[in-house]
Structure 1
Amino acid sequence: MTVEVHSLGCRLNISESETLRGLLRGVSETDGDLVVVNSCAVTAEAVRQTRQAIRRARKERPDARLIVTGCAAEVERAMLAAMPEVDGLVPNTAKLDPRAWNVAPAPAPVAGPLRRHAYTRGFVQVQNGCDHACTFCVIPQGRGPSRSRSISEVLHDVAVHRDAGVNEIVLTGVDLTSWGSDLDGASGPAPVRLGALCEAILARFPTLPRLRLSSIDGAEVDEALFELLAGEARVMPHVHLSLQHGHDLILKRMKRRHSRADAVSLVSALRARRPEIAIGADLIAGFPTEDEEAHAANLSIVEELQVVHGHVFPYSQRPGTPAARMPQVDAATIKARAADLRAKIAKIRANWLAGLVGKPLSVLAERGAKGHAENFAPVGLPADVQPGTLIRVTPARVVEGILES
């Protein structure tokens, strides 16, 4: 009996897929081979890729049971259930519950690195779900309300990763910076914040070289978290903002909680304390009602923030969202504006990489003779470097977007 888990979408799905692999070790041998597709529904393209992954998995494993879970299993339940390749669906909120798979509960929380060195980083889920109502987003439909894991649970998972030799921990969540909003603080009912969790991890694991955050909401950065991002060497100088747009009216129509000025102020304050910090951002092109002025503001915020790690999403109408009922931008314009954003980011990124030539970098080695520096710049490495180790590199040039020594 074999178990395969195919993960699509975000880093949180990667973390959950690793946990699933360990959980499904308890599936009975008599149940036969099992294939799980851990799906994504953030865009229409993500749903298309989910359907493609299902068809490919069925073609490769015609005799296995094929189960779909993840966000698309919630948002597109009827459509996926009707696919002839699919044998069943497991609700996204139940996918880490042993009862959903008919296996015995684990004696302790199941952490990610159950296959040693499955990934060179340890992805640790600290939070799930979202309490916000961004007008373009279906993720609350797929993930439910925000739910924080306790500090003790998170520390347990970090310990498992460290015992497996992992040198970088990445904290993940649907709305990562909302962690603690549903938990009481040590001194009373006031909620704890993400900065306190990061401080607890760093204190418990003083030899942990790297702590990295996945995408964060700048509106939720608390004072302790800011201080760690600005001044703690073991917290990576890499901030990926859930920015979404650079025009205030579009941000308001998205129902985001920050303004353009808020984002600029946060990045300026971080750079004043830590000039080497690398900024990433999620950006949506062609949001409903976006005109040329708004698109220009989107392009200009990329320049103003010097975004070097950009995730550009062409706006995708999602079922049941308020944005789907707003006046839409035509598909050709959306595609062209997404290309404009990617080109702008690529130019800024190329200049940034060129500026790193000749500067010593600490690089976490990965498979395929490559790795990433603390600022998440990609670096080529000798083939004999063991994945998961930290190596000092002084790049001499940039070759096809990768720093080479």
Structure 2
Amino acid sequence: MSAERGVDVVSLGCRLNIAESEQIRALLAAESDVVVINSCAVTAEAVRQTRQAIRRARRGRPDARLLVTGCAADIERDALAAMPEVDGLIPNTSKLDPRAWNAPERALPAHQHALPARTRAFVAVQNGCDHACTFCVIPQGRGPSLSLNVPQVLAEVERHLAQGASEVVLTGVDVTSWGHDLPNAPGLGVLVQAILDGFPQLTRLRMSSLDGVEIDAQLFELLASEPRMVPHLHLSLQHGHDLILKRMKRRHSRADAVQLVKGLRRRRPDIAIGADLIAGFPTETAEMHEANRTIIRDLDVVHGHIFPYSPRPKTPAARMPQLDKAVIRTRAAELREETARRRDRWLQSLIGTPLDVLSEKDGTGYSGNFARVAVPDGTVPGTLMTITPTSLQEGLLL
């Protein structure tokens, strides 16, 4: 663990958890000896990693009070509560409520918490999900979709910028559903435009995973033409075959995804595409798997998040005919290989191209299209610079 005493928050899973972990750390700032595991339950592997993190935290801080929150704290509540290392669980929907932690109300007034300086700031604009994808357990741990209003988001962005952030990432469980629960149901493009208008000093605005079918016209136009919107789109795609998408209860087709990316590339040729894809969904045939593999080619996916399917409790997909685990592993490996080939080809194409790179603390940085680039020794973290890479080594542009 990072400290012998004091507050440690271990964040697992999504970028929303990262944003919330900073708020939890501020909530518990007055505590003398506590460890929080902000857990994930999106897959069986994520739950395994949560249990592993709990055991590791207990070994590292044997005398600390160890608390677990996050999605697994709700979805796997009984199993985690039975672990001898765990002193208590905080419901995921209560994780930002001071009362749930027995913390003083003044420790975290609504959206007024102190945040550590960082180069990239994650701003949670939305939480929960109103959809019912058949494979997904997250609504059980997050509840319905709830949005921060525009002034709340602007206040969050302002605080991060004041502490030196050069890039802001908008995140949430289902980011593109932002605004559906607000008066007049504004689209996400309204929020993005308000941020860009309100903070001309903000150099880079990035979106976390988006549901392509919910990208409104204003957001599309900003992604296509606004230079401060980074040329990087990560899609919550999940599969490349229409029948599997239907069985997943997704709301887009393969053609919808292809048309979206083609339209963006026509306007912004340098945009880099990422996608979440599930391998081995129940009933997936070899032909359907091939469609899943070729969608990587058709969209030219260079940032692939590949998830081997695992049944989650109380989900409809868990009751469907399951594939053999060995088949799922093989298909996941094939999807990863396809993405790796395209990623390597894309990185090679960036050699000799000037890139705007935001430096991190580890001697590397990320370009706007999310390529990882080595930065000169001694570069101050958070520096935005132009680098022209000359070679590629193990996925790192040099």
TM-score by length of structure 2 reads 0.97
Please say if 1:11 is aligned against 2:15.
yes
Contact 1:363/1:379, CA 8 A, preserved across alignment = yes
Q: How many matched pairs?
A: 393
The residue number in structure 2 matching 1:241 is 235
Aligned mates of 2:246, 2:229 — CA distance in 1: 32
Deviation at 1:116, TM superposition (A): 2.4
1:327-366 aligned at under 5 Å gives the runs 327-366=321-360
Partner residue, 1:25: 29
Give the secondary-structure state (helix, strand or coil) at the position aligned to 1:395: coil
Contact 2:111–2:152 (8 Å) recurs in 1 = no
Partner of 2:61: 61
Report the Cα distance in structure 1 between the residues aligned to 2:181 and 2:117, rounded to whole angstroms.
33
Instruction: Look up the match of 2:82.
Output: 82
Root mean square deviation, CA, Å: 1.0
The separation in 2 between residues aligned to 1:225 and 1:68, in whole angstroms, is 36
* Corresponding residue of 1:114: 115
Which 4+ residue blocks in structure 1 deviate beyond 4 angstroms?
none
| Structure 2: unaligned runs, 5 residues or longer | none
CA drift of 1:193 comes to 1.0
SS in structure 2 of the partner of residue 279 of structure 1 = strand
Q: Distance in 1 between matches of 2:105 and 2:149?
A: 19
SS at match of 1:308: strand
- For residue 399 of structure 1, what is the amino acid of its counterpart? Q
Structure 1, unpaired ranges of 5+: 185-189
Give the aligned residue type for 1:281.
Answer: A
- Whether contact under 8 Å (1:5, 1:21) holds in the other structure is yes
1:223 is matched by which residue type in structure 2? A
Q: 1:311 aligns with which of 297, 305, 309?
A: 305
* Alpha carbons 1:44, 1:318 under 8 Å: kept: yes
One of 383, 387, 400 as aligned partner of 2:394: 400
Aligned to 1:44: 44
Match of 2:250 in 1: 256
Alpha-carbon deviation of 1:105? 2.1
> C-alpha separation between the residues in 2 aligned to 1:4 and 1:368?
21
Is 1:124 equivalent to 2:123 in the alignment?
yes
Instruction: Determine the structure 1 residue equivalent to 2:197.
Output: 203
Provide the C-alpha distance between the structure 1 equivalents of 2:199 and 2:129, rounded to a whole number of angstroms: 29
Aligned pair partner of 1:382 in 361, 376, 385: 376
Q: What's the CA shift string for 1:236-272, capped at 9, x where partnerless? A: 1100000000000000000000000000000000000
- The residue matched to 1:191 in structure 2 has which SS? coil
Q: Distance in 2 between matches of 1:111 and 1:314?
A: 39
The amino acid across from 1:221 in the alignment is I
Instruction: Give the 3 Å change call, closer, same or farther, for CA 248–158 of structure 1 in structure 2.
Output: same
**Is the 8 Å Cα contact of residues 16 and 112 (structure 1) preserved in structure 2?**
no
Is residue 2:289 matched to residue 1:279? no
Deviates more, 1:96-105 or 1:152-161: 96-105
- What's the counterpart of residue 72 of structure 1? 72
Q: Secondary structure at the match of 1:310?
A: strand
Q: Hey, what's the Cα distance between the residues in 2 that align with 1:158 and 1:105?
A: 23
